[in-house]
A and B are shown apart, each in its own frame.
Chain A
C-alpha cells in the first residue's frame, strides 16, 4: 500500500505540509479563504529542533494500536487506510494514548483527527506531499 514517508534529510522545516494539510481538510477550494485568520490544526506535524526537522503523520500501521484501543469503534481500517468516523468518536483520546508516533491529535469539537491520506476529502491523494517543495515527504509503496 502507498503510504506517506518522510525523508528527514530533505525536510526544510518550512511547515508547508501542515498548511497544505489544513487546506485539504478544510473542504474549501481557495487556500486563502480556508486558512486566512485561523490557527491551523494539521494532521501532519513537523517536529523541529535546531537544524533537524521532519514531518510526522499517521503511518497507517497494519496492526494499528489506535484501532485496537479505540473504545467506540470510531477508528477502523478501510483498504489499509485508518480512518475515523467523526460521528462515533467521543474524544476519549485512547488513540492518542496508544499511537507510538504521536500522529493523532485533538481536533475541533474535542474529537480526534488524523491523516486519512486525503481519501476523506476532495483531493484524493495526500496534499501535503504535493505541497512539499523538496520531496521530504513522499507517497509511495515500500
Chain B
C-alpha cells in the first residue's frame, strides 16, 4: 500500500498519524513545495514577535518522519494528478504512483485587483515561513507598514512586527476588525486594545491606487508606507483537483469520510470544505484544529478504517498583546451577554442549543461552551443561567457529571 500526501502541514500530519493508527507498514510519501520540516503556520507572527524560533516552530519533533516511517519529498511541487493511472507528477518530471492520495494543499492568499499594486516593491503575503522571513528582512525600525486586511492574518502580522517598525496602518473594507469572528462590540474592544499599541486602523475603506509608496484610499485619505502586507483573505488551493474535474464548491467537496468525488483521492484541511454543524452547511473552515482532525480522519479512512468526520465547527483562539479572544460556532439566534470591563462574553442560542459564543479577556474554561456546541447539548438539560455566568461542569446534573467525569473516557 502506498499513500501519497500532497502538502506538509497540519492536515498532512493528521493524516500520517491517522494512517499509522491502522497501518504501520504501508509506504507514506509526503510532497511539499516548501523545503521545511513540518512547522506551525500560525506561529510565523510569533516568530517575528520573538516569542518562538524556527526550531520551536516545528509542529512535530525532528524525528517525526522517521518515527512515522514516512518519506518526505520537500522543496518539490506536485503539479498534476493523473487519477486514471493513479499517479502524481512532480515539477521535476518525477512521477509517483499511489494507492491512496491525500490532497492537503491548504490555501492561497487572495489578492483583489488594486491599481498600481505591481509597482509596490516591498509587497508581501503573510502565510508561510518564507513570507515571514521576507517581511522580516524588509522591515526596519523606521518602516511604515501598511497592512491590507484586518482579519486574523493581518492583525497577527501587525502584532508580530509592532515592536520593530515605526508605524503600522491597517486598512479594511469592513466596518470592524476581525469581522469573520467578532461582532461589532467585541471588535471595538480589541481594536482599542490594539490602538494603544500604536496600530492605526482605517475601516470602511479600501485602497484605490498605489503610487510612489503612497496608498490612496477610497475615502480620499492618503497613507504613506514603505512595506505592504496583503492579508485580505485566503482561498482554498483546489487547482490539482479542479484540473481532473473533481467536485469543487468554495473548496474541494468531500464526503463524511473525507473522500473527494474521485476514487482513492481524499482531501483535508484548508483546501476543502467541512460540514459546519452549527449552520448545517458545507463551509471552508480554514482552521488548524479542523485541519488536523479532518486530516486524521482522512488518514484513518485511507488506511482501511471507517471514521466519519463530524462535529466540525468554526473555532478560534487568538490573542493580541495579551488580550485573549476565543470564539466558536455561528452567531445566530438569541443573544445572551455578560460583560464587565475588558471581559466580554456573548452566547448565541437557537432552537434550545448553544450555537456560538465570543469571549474576550477572561476565556477560562471556554471549552465547556465549545463542547455544548459540538455535542449539541440541549440547554434545557443543564443550568443555563449558571453556565452563562461561568462555564463549568457544575451546570450539568449530578448524573450527567458522573458520566462526564466518571469511568468512561470520552470518544471524540
Q: Please indicate whether A and B come from the same complex rather than being unrelated chains.
A: yes
Measured CB to CB, the residues of A under 8 A from B are: 3, 5-6, 8, 47-49, 52, 54, 56, 59-65, 68-69, 71-73, 87-88, 90-102, 104-106, 110, 142
Complex formed: what's the CA distance from A95 to B14 in Å? 17
Residues of B with C-beta under 8 A to A105: 364
Nearest A residue (CB) for B402: A8
CB closest residue in chain A, given B368: A102
Selecting from B122-130, B135-143, B393-401, the interface stretch reads B393-401
Residue numbers in A under 8 Å from B386 (CB-CB): 49
Q: B409 an interface residue at 8 Å Cβ cutoff?
A: yes
Q: Are A96 and B367 in contact (CB under 8 A)?
A: yes
Given A8-B401, A71-B40, A102-B391, A97 and B326 touching (CB < 8 A)?
Answer: yes
A102 touches B393 (CB 8 A): yes
B370 near A: Cβ within 8 Å?
yes
Interface-lining segment among B198-206, B224-232, B254-262, B310-318:
B310-318
The stretch that binds A, out of B55-63, B112-120, B233-241, is: B55-63
Q: How far is the CA of A106 from the CA of B317 in the complex (A)?
A: 13
- Beyond the given pairs A68-B296, A102-B366, A104-B367, 8 more chain A to chain B contacts, judged by CB atoms under 8 angstroms and listed by A's residue number, are A8-B398, A59-B409, A60-B409, A90-B51, A92-B42, A98-B289, A100-B367, A100-B410
Cβ of B293 and Cβ of A68 under 8 Å apart?
Answer: yes
Count chain B residues whose beta carbon lies closer than 8 angstroms to a beta carbon of A: 53
Q: Are B393 and A47 in contact (CB under 8 A)?
A: yes
- Residue in contact with A97 in the complex, picked from B58, B60, B315, B406, CB distance below 8 Å: B315
User: Footprint of A on B, CB under 8 Å?
Assistant: 14, 40, 42-43, 46, 51-52, 56-61, 288-289, 292-293, 296, 315-319, 322, 324, 326, 328, 363-368, 370-371, 374-375, 386, 391-394, 398, 401-402, 404-407, 409-412
Is A110's CB under 8 angstroms from B322's CB? yes
A87–B289 contact, CB under 8 A?
no
Residue of A whose beta carbon sits closest to that of B60? A73
Selected A-B contacts with CB under 8 Å, 15 pairs: A5-B407, A54-B401, A68-B292, A69-B292, A72-B52, A72-B56, A73-B60, A90-B51, A98-B367, A100-B370, A100-B412, A102-B365, A102-B367, A102-B368, A102-B393
Tell me how far the C-beta of B282 lies from the nearest C-beta in chain A, rounded to whole angstroms: 21
- Quick check: B394 and A62 within 8 Å, CB to CB? no
Q: Output the least CB separation between A63 and chain B (Å).
A: 5
- Say whether B56 contacts A87, CB under 8 Å: yes
Asked whether A71 and B405 contact (CB < 8 A) given A47-B394, A92-B319, the answer is no
Assess the A101–B409 pair: CB atoms within 8 A: no
Residues of B within 8 A of A48 (CB): 394
Q: Is the CB of A61 within 8 A of B412?
A: yes
Report if A94-B405 is in contact (Cβ < 8 Å); known contacts: A61-B410, A73-B40.
no
Q: Indicate which residue in B43, B368, B374 contacts A71 across the interface (CB closer than 8 Å).
A: B43
Complex CA–CA separation, A69 to B57 (angstroms): 15
Most buried by A among B14, B58, B401: B401
Whether B56 lies near A88 (C-beta < 8 A) is yes
Given contacts A69-B288, A71-B40, contact A97 B296 (CB under 8 A): no
Looking at B56, B57, B398, which has the most chain A CB atoms within 10 Å of its CB?
B56
